Structure 1
Amino acid sequence: MNRKSFLRVTVGALCAVVLTQAHSETYPDKAIRFIVPWPAGGAADAVGRLVAQALTTQLGQTVYVENIAGAGGNIGTAQFVRSKPDGYTLYLATSSTNAASPHLYKRTGFEPIKDFTPIASVAAIPSILVVPAASPFKTPKDIIDAAKAKPGKLSYGSGGVGASAHLAGELFKSIAGIDVIHVPYKGSGPAISDVMAGQLSYMLDTGAVPYIRGGKVRAIAVAADKRLPLFPEVPTFTELGIKGMQMNAWYGVAAPAGTPEAVVTRVNAAINKALQTGALPKQLADIGAEVRTGSPADFSKFWGTELQRYEKLVKLTGATLD
């Protein structure tokens, strides 16, 4: 490399550093798009909108949700990872898309973790076993007995292959040793609607809280270590003698790979502050979510661990690869 070329490369690199630093110092100076790779009406959408609202307050710029649904969250995620890594496109990472999908789909359109910059954990919501309000089933054992009496007759719904409701449903099938039909939908909203209408026998959902409160569906068990404060009368599977039935959906915020560290630090601080103050903690609690805070490194480590855990879960349940 000659002297002119060397100077040109050096000056270019310095300019890039200066521009990046200047960008980070003024960030954000315009609206931020927040991609939720699931349709409106489900738990992911509810969490995404609450986080977007809180970030709008913390960052002083509008953070607006864009739902890009389909293929278990893969369509919106594949679009997201191609976004410019400038902090103006954020993303709601979920256990379904970012931990389960890589083990369920032959092609997702993205690389796990490699295509992302983890920013912060937000919350986790346990699955709740719900049945139609008029269902004769009062306990999980009632479902198991009915399924064993008539194999292939009962059905459960989910927000799609790889969604938390799908894996929870397959885990329940595996533990109980029953033959029931899985009916995937394009999001948990349409699925829970068919539970309400009696078209499905049951569902293990993370977004059922408002429907339980409204009397549209009935909760009969919680897939968690302890009962939910919102529904203290609903027992856990373990209490009912069904061991190993713990399942939740987790949510976090990420940016495209290559996003400046200063931007990541800024957004992480905003999220953690929102999770510790203001209305967000109660809003999340009201939909059955448990708040989770931490650094970008914490979230990255957790994400990697979850990828390994879900690989084992997918194998255990025998969930179908697409």
Structure 2
Amino acid sequence: MPSHRHTPVSRRTALACALLASLAAALPAQAADYPTERPIRLVVPWAPGGATDAIARVLAVPLGQALGQSVVVDNRPGAGGNIGTGQFVREKPDGYTLVMATSSTNAVNPHLYSKLPFDPAKDFTPVAFVASVPNVLVVRAASPYKTLAELLAAARAQPGKLSYGSAGNGSSQHLAGSMLVRATQVQMTHVPYKGSGPAASDLMAGHLDMMLDTGSLPHVQGGTLRALAVASRKRMAALPEVPTFEEAGVTGGIQASAWYGVMAPAGLPKEIILRLNREINKLLQQPAVARHLQEFGAETNPGTPEQFQAFAASEVARYQAIVKESGAKLE
């Protein structure tokens, strides 16, 4: 009799254990089979046509081919990348929604805006670093300044007269210019525009004296702009004859590169992280992909998700002082 009294409890316990075991077995299987359900969306929190969009589109097709599911670029622009990024972090962490994170959204904006719809440390799973594009100090082709030394000498002789353009307050061009001013202690006038395109047009028309920009390579190669220095630790492969700021005689660590990487919402399973990281790193080493990225000055540096996470965290810390020094602040 006592054994019959305990039989229902034992049966329920056995059923519960079997259910838990089946669920536990199913989770790794789903991650291992990823992706099978539907196309993957790669969110770009900027308008079509910019550098972030271009890099995303270089990756999308070959990444979809490698994964066996199409990767669709989903542009969600607005508020300096904050609108699309804020929507993205609320997505399910299943690997079917990714974002092209940038130095602007994930390192600068936390210090530039008083309120953000996301936390750069808590709301993301770093997957793979893709590329960085160093800012290049450029002047128009007809400029009298042939070297950085000549430009800085003129700036010192006429404090505040020389001007540099940017895509707006707090943009990468503005912050790079602020770094140059701080490192050289020269006075120059910042002229913000609504986008780097109008600023570059005014530079080529002679309305500005210089610009530190990540999108100037086609103009340099086309002969309408002259590059004087590169804001990175080493020379750009696409501009091997152009010195770094350090080589040109300016100390103080002028390193201003826009970076791009693939991230997922927080909580993405480890198996999916590793799969995506592996496939993206393979793509970055394909000659066709590397060539397309190099066309606009991008430099790749494949690594682990942990390395990307550490780098992104260090960039958030680094830009705190840079944004403060620039005086930029947006609501």
Alignment TM class, shorter chain as reference: 0.7 to 0.9
Residue 116 of structure 2 is aligned to residue 108 of structure 1: yes
Distance 1:241 1:11, change over 3 A: same
Deviation of 1:147 after TM superposition, in Å, equals 3.7
1:28 and 2:39 equivalent?
A: no
Classify the secondary structure of the residue corresponding to 2:308: helix
Aligned match of 2:225: 217
Segments of 5+ residues of structure 2 without an aligned counterpart are: 1-8
What's the counterpart of residue 185 of structure 2? 177
- Superposed counterparts of 1:208-247, under 5 Å: 208-244=216-252, 245-247=254-256
Amino acid at match of 1:27: Y
Structure 2 CA distance for aligned equivalents of residues 160 and 288 of structure 1: 22
1:272 is matched with 281
TM-score normalized by the length of structure 2: 0.84
Separation (CA, whole Å) in 2 of partners of 1:201 and 1:7: 78
The one of 35, 56, 65 equivalent to 2:64 is 56
* 2:243 alignment partner, SS class: coil
Query: What is residue 107 of structure 2 aligned with on the other side?
Result: 99
Code of the residue aligned with 1:85 in structure 2: it is P
Q: Post-superposition shift, 1:129?
A: 0.6
Distance 2:210 2:103 in 1: 21
Counterpart AA for 1:26:
D
1:286 is aligned to 295
* Displacement after TM superposition at 1:11 (Å): 8.8
Distance in 2, matches of 1:12 and 1:191, equals 62
Pairs within 5 Å for 1:244-263: 244=252, 245-263=254-272
Question: What's the C-alpha RMSD, in Å, of the aligned pairs?
Answer: 3.0
- Shift of the 141–191 alpha-carbon distance from structure 1 to 2, 3 Å rule, reads same
CA–CA distance in structure 2, aligned partners of residues 241 and 210 of structure 1: 26
Shift in alpha-carbon separation, 1:24–1:162, aligned structure 2, 3 A = farther
How high is the TM-score relative to the length of structure 1? 0.86
Describe how 1:84-233 pairs up with structure 2 within 5 A: 84-233=92-241
- Does the CA-based 8 Å contact 2:46-2:76 persist in structure 1? yes
Q: 312, 318, 321: which is aligned to 1:303? A: 312
2:126–2:305: 8 Å Cα contact kept in structure 1? yes
The count of corresponding residues between Structure 1 and Structure 2 is 319
Letter in 2 for 1:293: P
**Pairwise CA distance, 1:151:** 4.2
Pairwise CA distance, 1:91: 0.9
- Segment drifting more, 137-146 vs 266-275: 137-146
CA contact (8 A) 1:33 1:66 kept: yes
Distance in 1, Cα, partners of 2:145 & 2:107: 32
Kindly name which structure, 1 or 2, has the bigger radius of gyration based on alpha carbons: 2
Distance 2:95 2:194 in 1: 28
Write the deviation string for residues 108-150 of structure 1: whole angstroms up to 9, x where unpaired: 2210121001101112222111122333332334443444454
Superposed CA deviations along residues 244-286 of structure 1, whole A, max 9, x for unmatched, are: 2232222211011122222222111110111223422232233
| CA distance 1:152–1:50, shift in 2 (3 Å) | same
1:159-180: CA deviation from partner (whole Å, max 9, x where unpaired): 3443322211110111222333
Q: SS of the counterpart of 1:107?
A: coil
In 1, are the aligned partners of 2:138 and 2:212 still within 8 Å (CA)? Answer: yes
Equivalent in the alignment of 2:5: none
Whole-angstrom CA distance in 2 between matches of 1:130 and 1:254 = 32
Distance (Å, rounded) in 2 between the aligned partners of 1:130 and 1:45: 23
